[in-house]
Amino acid sequence: MLFNQYYLECLSHASYLVGDETTGRAVVVDPQRDIAEYLADAEAHDMSIELVIETHFHADFLSGHLELARATGARIVYSSVAQPDFEFMPVADGEVHSLGEVTLEFRHTPGHTPESMSIVIREHADDEHPWGVLTGDTLFIGDVGRPDLLASIGFSREELADMLYHSLHDKILTLPDQTRVYPAHGAGSACGKNLSEELWSTIGDQRRTNYAVAAPDEETFIALVTEGQPPAPGYFGYNADLNRRNRELLDEGTPPEPMTWDQMVEACERGAVLIDGRDPEEFATGHIAGAVNIGLDGRYAEFAGSVVQPHDEIVLMIEPGEELQAKNRLARIGFDRVLGYLDNPFAAMIEHADQVRRASRLTAPAFAEIRPELGEVQLVDVRNPGEFEGGTIEDATNIPVGQLPGRLNELDPERCTVVFCAGGYRSSVAASLLRRNGFDDVSDIIGGYEAWRELVQPA
């Protein structure tokens, strides 16, 4: 059996290529939208991809099922409960698909979503114990899928949590302890609240260590998995819907178009968002007025999807040579309206120095020292509620960065504003967004709350 796991750190997303080396037949499960790696690996192992299997309609990324189907002729597979707008192969609960020696058993495991399913893999059809199970967003390492993302479209979180409990105990935990567990996400994903950094586990380990699996009864389980979930980024609903649709395909090999300064200015005057993909330190030393800082080295697509609207036009300000990567990473969440990138960006900034701004960044000790002189400073903690509850700076208001666009009216643009996160990435996103929206006196804290705890609180 060929088994490849692909892991995108920036979206905490795992996908899989499973093939039978005796027949050369293979499937891809939960693919990312840019598909070149799957195609290259299948070709390298002389495999033909015949199915593209989706465990559910994903909310946190735009899947590559349509791109793979077009490239390979593979059929797209969903649970028979699903109702996408395109042609697909529905599979029933308990249905088995043979690749030759390798077999795949589909088990309906609703809860995270109504159409969720898991895939039990046997290396040989007559093996007594399964080799592993691909659990999608039903069972994670250390957690289970959150049941609240569909609460607004016909299912309460309690109803989905009830489904999830029975899916786990009646469909997944019936597998032997040695069965390998491979989920669709890891630590950092907003699809759960306690995901491990480990990329696989076993059923036995999850029985022993997973807080949700260990719940003594259904009532306790529902209470555990419906409380304390992180806020879902704003693009989740857009992606969940788009994954059902027959949409345009990604051309992952063609970079965006270069733009002159005047073209960039004209686009921004029409409402396009200028995304500066440099790291916060470089952004602070000089950036184009009105740019939003979302560093390409971080969770670029996720935070773009948190502070930019899906139908906004986008212009990229990016290090030369990184234009295609930036475009494709935005495309992974369906943000396809990239008009282009500013050509020769640093020369353009020098030529138009009157439109370049510096960003105020404060060390934690410096902020502690000058805070008494700032008067009634507006201090905003842009971390998630769970982080905020674990400790924050005195008198801070918690507005997670993904909620900031919809809660700007809670803040006074005339007041001195200081924002912070855990380490400085999210705070730069937030501070730049505030400046774009008319907040003139904005700083963020270098190193965030971790620096505050280490350098200020002990004193």
* Catalytic positions, written as ranges: 421
194 close to 143: Cβ distance less than 8 angstroms: yes
Q: Structure tokens of 194?
A: 């306690």
Query: Dihedral sign, CA of 125, 131, 134, 138?
Result: positive
101 close to 125: Cβ distance less than 8 angstroms: yes
Distance CA 317, CA 158 (A): 44
Cα-flanking dihedrals φ and ψ of residue 356, to 5°?
A: -105, 135
Distance CA 106, CA 44 (A): 27
95 close to 105: Cβ distance less than 8 angstroms: yes
Tell which residue, 365, 362, 371, has the closest CA to residue 444. 362
Q: Which residues, other chains included, contact 366 with Cβ-Cβ below 8 Å and sequence gap of 6+? A: none
Distance CA 351, CA 344 (A): 11
Query: Dihedral sign, CA of 229, 230, 233, 239?
Result: negative
